[in-house]
Structure 1
Amino acid sequence: MIHTMRWFGPKDPVSLMDIRQAGCTGVVTALHQIPVGEIWSVEAIKERIRLVEADNDKYIPLKWLVVESLPVHEDIKKGLPAREQLIENYKISLRNLAQCGIKTVCYNFMPVLDWSRTNLNYEMPDGGKALRFVWEDFAIFDLYILKRPEAAKDYTPEVQIKAAHKLKGMSANEIATLTNTVLLGLPGSEEAFDLNTFQELLDNYKKIGDKELRANLYYFIQQIAPVAQEVGINLCIHPDDPPKPLLGLPRVVSTEDDLKQLMAACDIINNGITFCTGSLGVRPDNDLAGMITQFGDRIHFLHLRTTKREDNPLNFHEAAHLDGDVDMYEVIKAVVAETRKRKAEGRPDWNIPMRPDHGHQILDDLNKKTYPGYSAIGRLKGLAELRGLEMAIEKSETLV
C-alpha cells in the first residue's frame, strides 16, 4: 500500500513535515476553501500541489495522491433541476484535477450530515481520547434538543425514556457540547450547522426516501464516471458513517448489498470504493475481508481504522487500530492479495493508497487543538502498527 495521511491545508496544526516524518509519501487533501458546487480551477489545484511539494528538493518527496473530498452538492443528492449545472461543474473539476496529475478522487453521498459522533473526547482506559457514538445521546439531540417532528418513531420507547432521564441530569454546558458535536460540519471545516436552521435542511428531504436517494446517486455516478474514465481518474465513494439512517434521512452506502448495487449501476472500474473499515465495520453483518475480495478491483483508496461495538451494539467508539471489532490481519491480508493480483495483471494502480483513519488523542497532542480524529501522534501510532502488520504479511510466503 502507499502510505498517506490526510492534511487539511495550511491551517492544519499537523504539518506536512509531520506527515513526512510519520513515514508517508502521499498526502490526502482537498480545497476546503472553495464552496461546494463551484469549480476547482487548475490554478487553485496547482497552488495546493506547490504547497505539498514545497520541500521535495530537500527532503523525502511528498505528493498529493488523493482528493478527499470533492464534495457533492446537496441539490445533486436531492435530484433538483440545479443538479445538471452542478454535475457539469463537477466534471470540469475532474478534468482539471486530471490535467494536474491527480488520479484518485474520494466523495460521499450522505445527506446533510457527513460523519456523525456524539462525543469527541471519550476517555480511554489509557487516558487517551477517542471519538464515540452513543445512540441514546443522539436520541437526546434528536428528540429533545432539535425536537424533530416524527423523531419518536425512530427510537424504541426504552431509548426515549432513557434519553429523557439522562437529559434531566445534564448541565447546560453538556447539552451545548452534545449539540455542537452533532452539528459539526465537514471534516476540515471550522463551520458547524446552525440549530435554528438545521430542521429546514432536513425538511428538504421530506419526499426523498431510500429509493429516491439511490436513484439520485446512480444518476450522478452515471454522469461523472464516464468522464473519470476518459481522463484516467478513479472515483471512490466513502461509506456512510455511521452506516445507518439518521435524523429521518436515508443512507444508501452502508452494506455489501449497497455497494453491489452501486457498482452495477455504472459497471466501469472508475466507479469505485473508498473502503473504510471503520465505517463498514460498525455493522456486524459486513464481512470486511470478504468484501475486499469481492470488490477488490473497485477499491481505489483505503481508510484503515477499527471501531468497537459496546454493550448496546448501536453504540461504538474508535478503538486502537489493531483492536476493536475489525480483524485488521484479515483485512490487510486481503488487500495484499488484491495488490499482488493487480500487479500480475499489469494494472498501473496496483499499489493502493492507504491512510490510517482517525487516531486517539494521546501524549503531547492532549494539550493541542486539532481536528477531531486527526491529531498527529495517534495517527502515527496507528500507521506504525499497520505498516508493521503489512510488512509481516508481505513477507509471508503464502496468503492462505
Structure 2
Amino acid sequence: MTWTFDPPAPGVFAPPRRDTGCAVAAWLWSLAGLILLMVLLGGATRLTESGLSITQWKPLTGVVPPLSPEQWAAEFENYRRIPQYAQVFPDMDLSGFKVIFFFEWAHRLLGRLIGLYAALPMLFFWANGRLPGRLKPQLLGLIALGALQGFVGWWMVKSGLVERTEVAQERLAIHLTLASLTFAWTVWMAAGETFRRSGEGEPAPGARIFAFVLLALVFVQIFFGGLVAGLRAGRVYMTWPLIEGRFVPPLDELAAMSPPWRNVLDNMLTVQVEHRFTAYLLLALGLAQAVWLAIEEGAAPATRRALVFLALVAVQAGLGITTLLLAVPLWAGLAHQGFAMIVLAAATLNAQALAREG
C-alpha cells in the first residue's frame, strides 16, 4: 500500500492573503502603541525614583506582587538594604514603599505582556501562513531585541543596588535607546504592511540618505536624553538659551573630568550641552530637508512629510525648554519623553516611505 499526502486546500490552514495584511498591520500598530506606553511608564518610574524598589529579578514569579503582610515586609526589608533607602528615602514607611514598588512592578509586568503580545500573534500568523516572507526575519529580530531589552533592564537596575543611589546613566541611556529602536522597528514593519509602493517615482537624489541621517540623529538625541535623565542634569543649569551666562560654556568646564572621555557620559554640564546642541542640529537639518525638498519636489508627499517632521522637532524642542525651565515636573518630563517617540515615529515613517518609493 502506498501512502500519499494531499496538502490542505487554500483557506484551511493558510487562508487567502487578501485580508491578512490588515490583520498583521493592526497587530503591529497596536504593538507599537504598547511599546510607546512602556516608554512612558519607564519615564514615570524614573521620575518617581521607583526603579530600584524591586531588588531582585524574577522573570516568572515576579509577575505576582507581594500578597501578604509578611511578603510586603520582606520586600521592604530588601529595599532598606540598598543605599537609595538610606540616602534618599530614610523616612519612607511601608505605605510609601508600596507606591514606588507598584510603579516598577507595573513597568516590568507590561514588559512581560508586550513580549507575549509580540510572540503569540506572530506564531499564530506564521503557523497559518499569513506572514509575508520578508517579515519573518524582521519579527524574529524584534523578539530577540525584546529579550535583550529585558536583560539590559536588569543590568541597569543592578548598577544602583550596591554603591549608588540611582542607576548608572549610561545604562539608562542604553535601555532607553534599545526601547526606542524596538519602537521604530515595529513602526517600520507596520508601515510596510499598511502602505504599498506609492508609484510616485524616484525621489530626489540624496533624499533617502538625508532621511536616514535624520533618523540616526534622532537616536543619538534620545541617547543623550537618557544621559541627561540619568544624571538629573535637567535640574541644573536651568536657563535657556544661555548656560551660566554663555551660549557655549568654557572648554575647561566641558572637559573638567579626567580622562577626557568621561565628560561625554559623566559631566552634567557636558551632557546637557550635548543634548541641547543635538536638538539645534536636528532643527537645522530638518529645516534644510524641508526647504530642499520643497525646491526639488514641490508639494510632493516627501515635502509634506519633511514639514511635519520639522514641526514635530520644533514642538519637542519647546517641550524640552519648558521641562528645563520648570525643573522637570513629572508631567513635563513625561510629555518630553513621550513626544520624543512621536518624533522618532515621524523620522521612521519618512525613511520607510522613501525606501518604498521609486
Does TM, normalized by the shorter one, top 0.5?
no
| Greater strand fraction, Structure 1 or Structure 2 | 1
Instruction: Tell me: higher relative CO, structure 1 or 2? Use CA pairs within 8 A at least 6 residues apart.
Output: 2
| Greater helix fraction, Structure 1 or Structure 2 | 2
Q: Normalized against structure 1, the TM-score is what?
A: 0.27
